[in-house]
Structure 1
Amino acid sequence: MINSQEIKKGTCIRMDGGIWVCIDFQHRKPGKGNTVMNTKLKNVSDGRVLERTFQVGFKLDDVRVERRPYQYLYEDPSGLIFMNQETFEQIPVARHQITGVEFMKEGDIVEIVTDTSDGTILSAEMPVKTNLKITHSEPGIKGNTATNATKPATLETGAEVRVPLFINEGETIQVDTRDGSYLGRVNE
């Protein structure tokens, strides 16, 4: 059990018959009354997000989690197959449980979060930055770079991102897996 004021980003709690992970929180002291914790919680099984307010001192049932690196191997009907980097055990993970799944390619290392009490897979997280090759992009028009203009580019994983006009097909770029934004060019 944990107190509501101990909640922070990434804390997992058991509530309403499911497991929820905190994605945002705010400690708030109104003019009158007790201090409260405003939280934004995400259900790990279906991805539903809700906002919940707890009084300070409210007891919550916490979930002990374990984070381990797994390597993405391939996709089959049971899900995306990952291999534990230490034991070489292979496990399937559902596509909706992985953040940044559209930027994942074979061989990528992903951090998988599991419940230590029963081994249930709660989520999988791609690294924040990943390097991907551009497979298709329209050529930029010379002299059209005075503004912050962007164009669509298709990556090797099939995802589409917005890139500056000077980026060409065949180049490798760095992408933020949380929102799909272009971070920069990668020199090989």
Structure 2
Amino acid sequence: MIQAGEFRKGITFVMDGDVWQIIDFQHVKPGKGAAFVRAKIRNVLSGGAKEITFNPTERFEKAVIETKEMQYLYSDGELYHFMDTATYEQLPLSYESVEEAIKYLRENDTAVIRFFQGKAFEVQAPNFVELEVTETEPGVKGDTAQGATKQAIVETGVSISVPLFVNIGDRIKIDTRTGEYLSRV
């Protein structure tokens, strides 16, 4: 059991027969009245999200979530195919399940897939990835006193804000949790 006062990002719990995941939360202690927890939660199986207010002492059953490392194989335009490297079983997933992670995954990259009662509901890319810059403007010398940045498109197609010295063909390290440039590799 977990109390609403113990909510953190990523925690999954059972409420009204459905499994919910905490997307964002805020503990509020107003000057007058009792404290409460305001949370944005997402239904693990349907994908619907809502904001809800909880009493910090409310208790919920924790949902048991299984995780498995799988290899991203390819996309056929509609589905994204992953393979369990131990059993060689393939798992096709819809865009809704992979939308956050697919921005950073190349074919044959490894990802973590989360399951509830055997049904995959989320794909997580590794925390840090190294990708090649395929498109960017040339850096302009001059106004760099403020740490100027420019947009660059990496090999997976996602646009990242990078420093002016990054060029086409450079490999860069990206934090997939925030989508930020970390360093040149």
| TM-score band, normalised by shorter chain | 0.7 to 0.9
Q: Does the C-alpha gap of structure 1 residues 144 and 38 become closer, same or farther in structure 2, counting only changes over 3 Å?
A: closer
- Counterparts of 1:83-102 in structure 2, within 5 Å, are 83-98=83-98, 99-102=100-103
- Counterparts of 1:57-136 in structure 2, within 5 Å, are 57-76=57-76, 79-98=79-98, 99-115=100-116, 118-136=117-135
TM-superposed deviation, 1:178: 2.8
More displaced 10-residue stretch of structure 1: 30-39 or 76-85: 30-39
Structure 2: which 5+ residue stretches go unaligned? none
Q: Does the C-alpha gap of structure 1 residues 2 and 162 become closer, same or farther in structure 2, counting only changes over 3 Å?
A: closer
The alignment status of 1:15 with 2:15, answered yes or no, reads yes
Structure 1: which 5+ residue stretches go unaligned? none
Q: Does the C-alpha gap of structure 1 residues 35 and 170 become closer, same or farther in structure 2, counting only changes over 3 Å?
A: same
More displaced 10-residue stretch of structure 1: 126-135 or 27-36: 27-36
TM-superposed deviation, 1:66: 0.7
Aligned-pair Cα RMSD in Å:
2.4
Q: Is the 8 A contact 2:72 2:109 kept in 1?
A: yes
Q: Which amino acid aligns with 2:148?
A: A
Q: Return the TM-score normalized by structure 1.
A: 0.83
- Counterparts of 1:137-148 in structure 2, within 5 Å, are 137-148=136-147
Q: Deviations over 1:135-181 (max 9, x none)?
A: 11221123443332112211111111121111111000011223322
Q: Is the 8 A contact 1:150 1:162 kept in 2?
A: yes
Alignment match, 1:176: 175
Q: Return the TM-score normalized by structure 2.
A: 0.84
Secondary structure of 1:178 counterpart: coil
More displaced 10-residue stretch of structure 1: 129-138 or 79-88: 79-88
Q: Deviations over 1:20-40 (max 9, x none)?
A: 101233444555655533322
Q: Is the 8 A contact 1:27 1:38 kept in 2?
A: yes
Q: Does the C-alpha gap of structure 1 residues 179 and 6 become closer, same or farther in structure 2, counting only changes over 3 Å?
A: closer
Separation in 2, partners of 1:48, 1:174: 32
Separation in 2, partners of 1:150, 1:29: 39
Same amino acid, percent of matched pairs: 40
Q: Which amino acid aligns with 1:110?
A: A
